[in-house]
Structure formats: C-alpha cells, structure tokens
C-alpha cells in the first residue's frame, strides 16, 4: 500500500498537462498565442466531447462566457466572451466527458495585446 | 510520458474508488462461481463464500454511488459541490457509466439473492455474476474496435478473476478444515485452466490496446501495464508454490503446511490489492497507445 501511494505520488509529480484519451485538441485562440482580440473561443475534438464546464480567467479574474454550443457531445465547441476584453493573459479551463465515459479536462492560455 | 491525464485529489479518489469497485465486483462474482464449481465443499466453507459475496455486492452498490459522485465532481470542475450537482450527475447518468451502473447494480442485487437457499439463490447469483462482468464492457477502453472481441475478452477475464479472487477467503478458511486439502487440491486443478484463461485473454486485450513493444515503454499505459504484469507474475509464482508444494504438504499432513498456506493466501490477497490499484490507474488516467 505504501509503495502504491509512492508510485501514485511519482505519477502525480511527473504528470504533464497532456490531455488523456484524445489527441491534443485544436483551440482558437491557439495555446500560448498572442492575439489582438477574441471574438469566440473554439475547441475541436477528434471524438464527440460532452463539454460539461468551461471557465475563462483573465487579468481581472473570472470572465463570464456565453456557450453557443449546447450540452450535447460535439466535435466543435464554441463559446462567446463579452466584447472588448482588456489586454492581458487569459486561461481557459474545461472539463468534459468523452464518448467512452471518461472524465476529461484541458487548459490553454492566450494573451490579448495590441 | 505520453497519454497521462492531469492528476489531482479527485483523480486519486477515482482510482481508489475504482479499485474498491473492482474488488467488490470480483468478490461478488466469485461467491456464486465458487458455489457452483465446488458444490461438495464443506457447508461452513460454502456459507463463508456466500457471505463474502453478499457483503461485497452491498459494498459494490455503495461504491457505485460514490463513483457517480466522484465523476460528477471531476467533470464539474467545482469540487465537492459538483459531486451532488443534479445536472452533473445527470450527465454522468447519460454517459456510458449510466448504462454500466444499471447492469452492475442489477447484478450486485442478484448476488444479494444468494441469501435465498437452494437453486433459486444460486441461479440469481450466477446471472448476477454475468451481469456484473458484462457491465464493464459498456464503459472505457473495451468500447474500442474490434468491439465484440474486446467485450468478450474482458468478460472472460473478469469471470476468471472473480472465480480466483472470490475463492481466496474461503480457501484460507478451508486450510484448517478436515477435508480442506481435498478442496484446495481441486481448486488448484480448476485454477490451472481458469488462471491460464485469465492471463491469456488479459494479454490479448493488452496487446490490442498497446499495438507494439515500443509503445509499452513510451507510454503511461505501457508502464502501468508492466507494473501490473510484474505483480501478476509474483502472484503466479505464489500460486504455483501453493499448488505444487504447500497443498501436497497439507494433504500429507505436514504440520507446517497450515501456517505456510494461510500466509501464502494472505500475501496473494495483498498482491491482488496492488493489481486492482494498478488496473484502476490503467483505466482512470492513462490512454491506451492505440488511441493516442
């Protein structure tokens, strides 16, 4: 048991941000991109993904975003941030359920600058 | 390393709950299988096998509910409030885990019916064991292609594992009994086939998930699988030691055979625990190389 805990801790320490059970998804804006403005936040998945939660965090904290995609499983997800986001660093965190029932999560960041 | 999901407290909880769920399901399946394969075993031993299966089935039902909460918490990103959020629980219910839960829950309830003596209870228990095994084919890696082959391999793997693991406690109890040596000898003979089946179908499944030897060494799935196989090898060695050394010694009346065999079965149970944790890790946070 103690060895297993240790093994889990080692796994935890070496875990990367890599997304499990799906090839790295494509996002708009792209991860670590610098953009002038953001009209929409988009994510593409290889297999239908049920996106259950998504948050956008900006320089002033959480930003409420409006889901354009409903609650069905999709390969293309789209949500709209409010217009005129201030300059700064932003992070998108999402959670979901893949088609085989596995909980999924991912994160990507971008920067808004003129 | 490729194919490893981010890990947090909820993921660790999911792994532990997953391993508990496997343990409960295997013990629940093992009871009716034991009763049908060894109808002539000592009444005391059969009674223990039934009792263990019924308790395991009830624990399994509780763990199933717990796993729903943990999964809802994980997909909500909200932590504990997400575990009881009706909408998140609804998403989990609509996912493959919902269908699996109906089959597994029904199977575990049928195993509880082992409390009914005679053919009715035993038949219910056997159907229950089959439903529990099949429930695991509705979710996770076995949903890949070729679907029917993967589902059949997994069902056989689980039934064989349930037969073995479910028998351990009853066998340990039988060690000190007057006709215990005969039961242990018979178990050894049956297990020669079922354990071989367990390992062979497991290896075929693993090969279909892995695809190549190099994938074994370059992915989280591969390393976790190797860790599992390492413990499995130790368990096999122990089982062989029991079959060819301790059980014959018990049959010939050697006094040291009783404590040796009991300790050996206890170590087997410990190894099984590690295997269940490795399996839950495999199915919770790693991606099979063929899906990468």
Confidence at residue A7, expressed as pLDDT on a 0 to 100 scale: 53
Is A52's Cβ below 8 Å from some Cβ in B?
A: yes
Instruction: Tell me how crowded residue A88 is: count the other CB atoms within 10 A of its CB.
Output: 11
Task: Identify all chain A residues contacting B102, using CB atoms and an 8 Å cutoff.
Answer: none
> Which chain B residue has its CA at the smallest distance from A53's CA?
B76
Please choose, from the candidates A57, A60, A104, the residue with its C-alpha nearest in 3D space to the C-alpha of residue A86: A60
Model confidence at A5, in pLDDT bands (50, 70, 90)? low
> pLDDT, tens digit, for every residue of A25-61?
689 899 999 999 999 999 999 888 999 999 999 999 9
How distant is the Cα of B255 from the closest Cα of chain A, in angstroms?
31
> Quick check: A20 and B139 CB within 8 A?
no
Q: Tell me which H or E stretch contains A103.
A: strand A103-112
Report the C-alpha gap between B286 and B284 in whole angstroms: 6
Q: Name the residue facing A101 among B95, B273, B278 (closest C-beta).
A: B95
> Quick check: A101 and B100 CB within 8 A?
yes
More confident residue, A89 or B7: A89
Assign 3-state DSSP to chain B and report helix, strand, coil percentages, each to 5.
85, 0, 15
Q: Tell me which H or E stretch contains B239.
A: helix B220-241
> Quick check: B75 and A97 CB within 8 A?
yes
How distant is the Cα of B78 from the closest Cα of chain A, in angstroms?
9
Q: Mean per-residue pLDDT for A89-94?
A: 94
> pLDDT, tens digit, for every residue of B53-90?
999 999 999 999 999 999 999 999 888 999 999 999 99
> pLDDT, tens digit, for every residue of B216-269?
999 999 999 999 999 999 999 999 999 999 999 999 989 899 999 999 999 999
Q: What is the 3-state secondary structure (H, E, C) of B242-277?
A: HHHHHHHHHHCCCCCHHHHHHHHHHHHHHHHHHHHH
Confidence at residue A22, expressed as pLDDT on a 0 to 100 scale: 44
More confident residue, A5 or B115: B115
CB A65 within 8 A of CB A91: no
Please choose, from the candidates A91, A79, A102, A84, the residue with its C-alpha nearest in 3D space to the C-alpha of residue A22: A102
> Quick check: A55 and B77 CB within 8 A?
yes
Q: Is the pLDDT of residue A12 over 60?
A: no
Confidence at residue A6, expressed as pLDDT on a 0 to 100 scale: 52
Is A17's Cβ below 8 Å from some Cβ in B?
A: yes
> Quick check: B285 and A20 CB within 8 A?
yes
> Which chain B residue has its CA at the smallest distance from A72's CA?
B91
> pLDDT, tens digit, for every residue of B87-115?
999 999 999 999 999 999 999 999 999 99
Task: Identify all chain A residues contacting B274, using CB atoms and an 8 Å cutoff.
Answer: 3-4
Please choose, from the candidates B140, B133, B158, B157, the residue with its C-alpha nearest in 3D space to the C-alpha of residue B71: B140
> pLDDT, tens digit, for every residue of B148-195?
999 999 999 999 999 999 999 999 999 988 889 999 999 999 999 999
> Quick check: B14 and A103 CB within 8 A?
yes
Structure tokens at B205: 């499944």
How many CA atoms lie within 13 Å of B28's alpha carbon, on the beta-carbon side? 34
Confidence at residue A86, expressed as pLDDT on a 0 to 100 scale: 93
List the beta strands (DSSP E) in A8-87. 26-28, 33-35, 41-58, 61-63, 66-67, 74-80
ipTM of the complex: 0.76
């Amino acid at each position: 048991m103690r060895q297993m805990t240790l093994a889990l801790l080692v796994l935890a320490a070496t875990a990367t941000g890599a997304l499990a059970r799906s090839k790295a998804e494509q996002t708009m804006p792209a991860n670590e991109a610098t953009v002038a403005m953001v009209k929409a936040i988009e994510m593409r998945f290889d297999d239908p993904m049920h996106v259950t939660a998504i948050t956008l965090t900006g320089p002033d904290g959480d930003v409420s975003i409006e889901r354009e995609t409903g609650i069905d499983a999709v390969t293309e997800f789209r949500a709209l941030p409010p217009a005129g986001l201030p300059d700064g660093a932003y992070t998108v965190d999402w959670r979901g359920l893949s088609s085989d029932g596995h909980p999924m999560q991912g994160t990507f960041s971008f920067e808004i600058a003129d | 390393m490729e194919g490893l999901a981010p890990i947090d407290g909820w993921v660790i909880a999911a792994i532990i709950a997953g391993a508990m769920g496997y343990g409960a399901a295997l013990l629940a399946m093992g009871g009716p299988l034991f009763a049908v394969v060894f109808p002539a075993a000592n009444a005391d031993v059969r009674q223990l096998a039934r009792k263990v299966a019924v308790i395991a089935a009830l624990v399994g039902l509780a763990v199933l509910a717990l796993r729903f909460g943990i999964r809802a918490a994980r997909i909500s990103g909200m932590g504990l409030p997400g575990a009881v959020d009706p909408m998140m629980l609804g998403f989990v219910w609509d996912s493959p885990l919902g269908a699996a839960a109906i089959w597994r829950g029904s199977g575990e309830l049928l195993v509880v019916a082992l409390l009914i003596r005679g053919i009715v209870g035993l038949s219910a228990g056997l159907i229950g064991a089959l439903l529990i095994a099949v429930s695991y084919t509705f979710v996770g890696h076995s949903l890949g292609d070729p679907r029917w082959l993967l589902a059949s391999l997994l069902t056989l793997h689980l039934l064989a594992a349930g037969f073995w693991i479910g028998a351990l406690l009853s066998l340990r109890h039988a060690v000190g009994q007057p006709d215990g040596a005969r039961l242990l000898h018979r178990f050894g003979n049956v297990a020669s086939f079922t354990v071989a089946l367990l390992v062979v179908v497991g290896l075929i499944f693993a090969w279909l998930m892995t695809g190549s030897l190099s994938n074994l060494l370059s992915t989280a799935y591969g390393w976790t699988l190797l860790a599992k196989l390492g413990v499995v090898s130790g368990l096999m060695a122990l089982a062989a030691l029991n079959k060819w050394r301790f059980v014959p010694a018990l049959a010939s009346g050697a006094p040291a055979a009783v404590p040796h065999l009991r300790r050996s079965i206890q170590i087997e149970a410990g190894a099984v625990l590690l295997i269940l944790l490795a399996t839950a890790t495999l199915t919770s946070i790693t991606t099979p190389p063929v899906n990468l």
